[in-house]
Amino acid sequence: MTNAGAGPVEEPEEGPGQGPEQGPDEEPDRPSALPVLLDTVLSVGSELELNATLQHLVDSATELCAARYGALGVIDPERVRLTALFTAGLTGAERAAIPRLPDGRSGVLGALISDPRPLMLDDLTADPRFAGFPPGHPPMRSFLGVPIRVHTEVFGNVYLTEKRGGGPFTAEDLALVRVLASQAGMAIGNSRLYETARRLERWIEGAAAVTTTLLAGRPAADALMCVAERARLLADAAAGVVLQPTREGGMEIVAASTHGDPGDLVGTAIAPGSPVLEQLLGGEPVFIEDSATDPRMTTHVRERFGPSMMLPLQSGGQLIGTLALPRARGGPPYDAVDRLLASQFASHAALALVLADAQHDREQLAVYEDRDRIARDLHDLVVQRLFATEMMLESTRRRSSNAPSGDTVGDELSRAVDELDSTIQEVRTAIFALQQPPADAPTTFRRRVLRETGGAAVLFGFQPSVHFAGAVDALLPDPVTGHLLVALRGALGAAHRRSEVTGLDVEVDTTPYRVRLTVADDGRTESGTRGATLTWESAL
């Protein structure tokens, strides 16, 4: 039985149904009720597949009550409409001839949904709530409808029409269908509980997998993509995207996981002032029935999608972004369980992102501390010992200056002193490099000079003065900048070898034709004079 129109309901008294007078009690070819009923009840506990169980129930109800047509409708508890309809008595051709199945929003079926009480009618078409049959629908007159419920929750209805023999349905029919309806209620309830438990298990496993992946040290972009992809698979969505706030006050898609999509989602922005933006930036979830038609959606990609969830990624009051999970056009809407589990996943993922970011910061800090320790060890131990050895060799070389002519000891000592001096300079250059952060290396020449002098400040105990003249970043080619930085490091190392250095000036003067580097300090030289200047120049 399908596509009966509907309206308000009637509650029958115990005994014969209300409405027109009951027909004769004789029912031709009615089977023995007990064996069929017992078989049906047992099948509910043994059948593993819900659809097969519900089809068996409606077939049994139709057989037990000697009805020509039967149907079992499952109700969406949120939208109060039929989401599935199992029929008996219709051939494949008859069912195909009906253009659409009822959704339970109107007519007698709608009445049973809005007021779930048993209803028996001698003539369905004579009831004022009847709204007509669609084209191709077989004629139906006698009607019996019983709600499927467990305690106070209604899961659906059982409908029977066209009592064989032409009479109305009886109180015995009603009692039998009530038993079967209770079995159907238990089957649907248990199935929904099991499905909810399975979905909860999948979401928990997904959240745990995301946490494990994020805490493994993935880069930020990969972390966001991991959240988007895992959420898309868990929600059975057409896409999983992560949006983050923009400087202009909007939100932009920064990571997107799709299946067979053109790939133009990343970079799509929600402009400031969009109706949905206030909720998103406020950390509120947004649930949409149809993205393509919802006036709150303003992006050009909305035409591709139907039902959607937009969930805040926030932890401890910190809004990281928004996780959006749109399904394809015409896809099934998200139910309350979907929304709850996805919201919990988003909260868990946001916390994992915060923890991963904090872990990354701790690792970076550990690297900085270790590099700083290495630099101190190099400076305090290696450089000082090398410098002491150089002084000893220099003293020995001076004493050997009175050696007989032709003696090569003095020359060899001079070469040893030069080698030690070069080694000290290279170690100091390595110390400067160790003092710099390993990430976010500057790309412009101006910033690279400032980075070198900033590293030298750690060793000198003060910040060198740096001046630029001319368009250094625009005029200097890469080969020249490389040589210039080598010269700067050498000059800084030489200045550090001098004692009593209290000031250091670095100047880079650039013209379209040449570049000049000048490094001046006020330290004491080996000859005892104050101040030294190094100049390096190159043509462009």
Distance in Å from the first CA to the final CA of the chain: 91
Tell the CATH superfamily of the 441-540 domain. Histidine kinase-like ATPase, C-terminal domain (3.30.565.10)
Distance CA 95, CA 144 (A): 20
Same fold, 5-194 and 213-344: yes
Q: Residue 349: pLDDT band by 50, 70, 90 thresholds? A: confident
pLDDT at 21: 39
Where do we find the tokens 């309830």? 189
pLDDT value, residue 42: 62
* Type of residue found at 513: Y
pLDDT mean over 289-316? 84
What average pLDDT is seen over the chain? 78
Report the pLDDT averaged over residues 148-177. Answer: 86
CB 106 within 8 A of CB 131: yes
Which of 71-75, 135-139, 337-341, 460-464 shows the lowest mean pLDDT across its residues?
135-139
For residue 531, the Cα-to-chain-centroid distance in whole angstroms is 61
Question: 378 is written with which tokens?
Answer: 């190099």
pLDDT of residue 35: 67
Phi, psi of 443 (to 5 degrees): -105, -25
**CB of 254 closer than 8 Å to CB of 266:** yes
Q: Is the pLDDT of residue 20 over 50?
A: no
Provide mean pLDDT across the span 230-259. 86
Would you place residue 430 in the very low, low, confident or very high pLDDT band (cuts 50, 70, 90)? low
Task: Report the pLDDT value the prediction gives residue 315, as an integer from 0 to 100.
Answer: 79
Question: What CA–CA distances, in Å, run from 498 to 456, 493, 528, 530?
Answer: 14, 9, 10, 10
Tens-place pLDDT, residues 101-113: 676 667 788 778 7
Domain boundaries, the chain: 5-194, 213-344, 441-540
Determine whether domain 213-344 maps to CATH 3.30.450.40: yes
Strand partners of residue 147? 157
Contacts of 87 (CB under 8 A, 6+ apart): 1, 2, 58, 69, 70, 71, 95
Residue 517: pLDDT band with limits 50, 70, 90: very high
CA distances in angstroms from 356 to 203, 217, 361, listed in the order given: 20, 7, 9
pLDDT for residue 508: 92
Question: Strands, DSSP E only, in 223-337?
Answer: 239-245, 251-258, 269-270, 286-288, 305-315, 318-328
For the stretch 58-67, pLDDT in tens is 888 888 888 9
- Cβ proximity of 142 and 161 under 8 Å: yes
- Specify which of 261-270, 353-362, 456-465 reaches the highest per-range mean pLDDT: 456-465
Average pLDDT estimate for 191-219: 82
Rounded percentage of the chain residues whose pLDDT exceeds 70: 78
Q: Which is it for the CA torsion 403, 405, 408, 414, positive or negative?
A: positive
- Nearest Cα residue to 19 out of 105, 116, 114, 118: 118
pLDDT(16) > 60 = no
Place of tokens 């109800």: 61
24 vs 472 pLDDT, higher one: 472
Q: Give pLDDT, residue 8.
A: 36
Mean pLDDT for 154-175 is 88
Q: pLDDT tier at 282 (50, 70, 90 boundaries)?
A: confident
Single out the residue of 287, 291, 230, 241 nearest to residue 264, CA to CA.
241
What does the pLDDT read at residue 14? Answer: 37
CA–CA gap between residue 144 and residue 159 (Å, rounded): 6
- Is the separation of the CB atoms in 132 and 98 below 8 Å? no
Residue 473 near residue 448 (C-beta atoms within 8 A): no
CATH class of the domain comprising 5-194? alpha beta
Q: Is this model's pTM higher than 0.85 or not?
A: no
DSSP states along 513-537: SEEEEEEEEEEE-TTS-EEEEEEEE
What mean pLDDT is predicted for residues 379-389? 68
Q: Is the pLDDT of residue 47 over 90?
A: no
DSSP 444-461: SHHHHHHHHHHHHHHHHS
For residues 346-374, give the mean pLDDT: 76
Between the alpha carbon of residue 172 and those of residues 42, 169, 179, 392, 498, the distances in Å are 21, 8, 11, 117, 111
How far apart (Å, rounded) are the C-alpha atoms in residues 518 and 533?
A: 7
- Which pLDDT score, from 0 to 100, does residue 262 have? 55
Please give the Cα distance from 500 to 498 (Å, whole number): 7
For residue 159, the SS3 value is strand
Residue found under tokens 């064996």: 35
pLDDT value of residue 529: 82
| Concatenated DSSP letters of 61-85 | HHHHTTEEEEEEEEEETTTTEEEEE
